Amino acid sequence: MVENNIDEAFEDYKKVRESLSGLFEILKINLNEKDFYYQAGIDNLKAIKENVANLLSNCYGSRQVRMRLREIEFDEHELEEQILPF
């Protein structure tokens, strides 16, 4: 039962990461990298990503969350290099 809940939580986490990637693409298309709003947007996207991970750690064991996050990040490593700067 708990394993099922954490699986669902990480599926939602993956969706959040995809949404953050989409928002990053919008910033990248519409703003110059040196623009204040671009930098502020990137900082906020990073904060959201970190806070979602922290929420998962609070709801589930931090060791379990770290292992899952490593799996996700390993799977998405190539994508991050191409799309996400953070």
- How do residues 32-71 score in pLDDT, each as one tens digit? 989 999 999 999 988 888 888 777 777 777 777 777 777 7
- Residue count (the chain): 86
**How high is the pLDDT of residue 77?**
64
pLDDT of residue 40: 92
| Residue that has been written with the tokens 């799309």 in this structure | 83
Banded model confidence at residue 80, pLDDT cuts 50, 70, 90: low
Mean pLDDT over each residue of the chain, to the nearest integer: 78
The pLDDT of residue 36 is 93
pLDDT value at residue 1: 45
**Helix (H) or strand (E) run with residue 47 in it:** helix 36-59
Element of type H or E holding 27: helix 2-30
Rounded distance between C-alpha atoms, residue 27 and residue 44, angstroms: 12
Is this model's pTM higher than 0.75 or not? no
> In the chain, where are the structural domains located?
2-82
41 within 8 A of 31, measured Cβ to Cβ: yes
Residue 66, amino acid: R
